[in-house]
Amino acid sequence: MSSEELSFEAYCRKKKIDPDLFLQSDPVRFEEWKTIFNQVHPDSFTEQKKFLINPIRKKYLLIAAEEKTKNEDAAKVKPLVKIPPIKNSS
């Protein structure tokens, strides 16, 4: 995917920002950023928002959502049965 075809949502994921959470929590800023993103090159957008991306990432961290899913999946997995080692009778 070339940078010209990159959607704002994909850009957010690339920057480890959860776009769904960002949209739900701050729709005005999300739409404002999306409008600007669609008018400029992704590199220009990053340069313009350089000092604002990190605070947004911290608020809407994509990994947090992925970790929650992993933890839910891990809870579904049955624990392994530990087999004691065989003792040598020598």
For residues 35-63, average pLDDT:
95
pLDDT above 90 for 72:
no
Q: Does 49 or 72 have the greater pLDDT score?
A: 49
Rg (CA), the chain: 22
5 against 58, higher pLDDT: 58
Check: CB of residue 4 under 8 Å from CB of residue 10.
Answer: no
pLDDT of residue 65: 53
Q: How many Cβ atoms from other residues are within 10 Å of residue 12's Cβ?
A: 25
- Report domain extents, the chain: 3-75
What pLDDT shows up at residue 3? Answer: 46
Tokens standing for residue 72:
């839910």
What number is the average pLDDT over the span 43-64? 93
What sign has the CA pseudo-torsion 60, 63, 67, 70?
positive
The better pLDDT of the pair 35, 82 is held by: 35
Cα–Cα dist 39/35, whole Å: 7
